[in-house]
Structure 1
Amino acid sequence: MNLVFSRKNGSPLPKSSLFNAFERKLKQAGLPKIPIHAFRNTHTVLLLESEASMKYVQGQLGHKSIRVTSDIYSHISKKIDLDSMNKYKEYIYKIME
């Protein structure tokens, strides 16, 4: 079934088990409560900041359309914005020479 988390026998792990275990680990580590989905968002932003292609990110997330990936994540990082502005600036300087 290509599951990320499963029981030892391979059957699906109930969401409540995963969420409860996650909350216990956060508490043990002295960290504030955060939604588990935040890891997916963080992973995605780091992929994009590392200049992974949007097509690759789409595949990693399992979105059927690259537009979904782009609409949700392309605006989310100040680093991506700054890098894009700097690349544009460098490009303009080169063509103006």
Structure 2
Amino acid sequence: MTYPLFIVTGISGSGKSATSLELQKIMVDFNVFDKDLIVNNDDYQTACDNWLKVAYYSAYSGRNSVLFGNVPDPYNIEICDHFPLFNPVHYLHLYCNG
């Protein structure tokens, strides 16, 4: 069984944290997670693995997730252990030109 996953990316200062706070208010049937708040690890790949693990157990419990975080390349997410458990995966990249 697979679960849908929504990933919102963007560089620092693009509005990810502000958007995640607003999205939490209107998407009450979803868990909205800011990666910076749920993982604190200097090893980026371990942080991504933990990020998807949280999303998987959330979905397994009946609540799908929207994940916000700085993801340099979708490859970093797609090689995570729990990635095959999600389908479809939707990406949105926030862009701010300053």
Same fold (TM over 0.5): no
Higher strand residue share: 2
Higher relative contact order (CA 8 A, sep 6+): 2
Higher helix residue share: 1
Rg larger for: 1
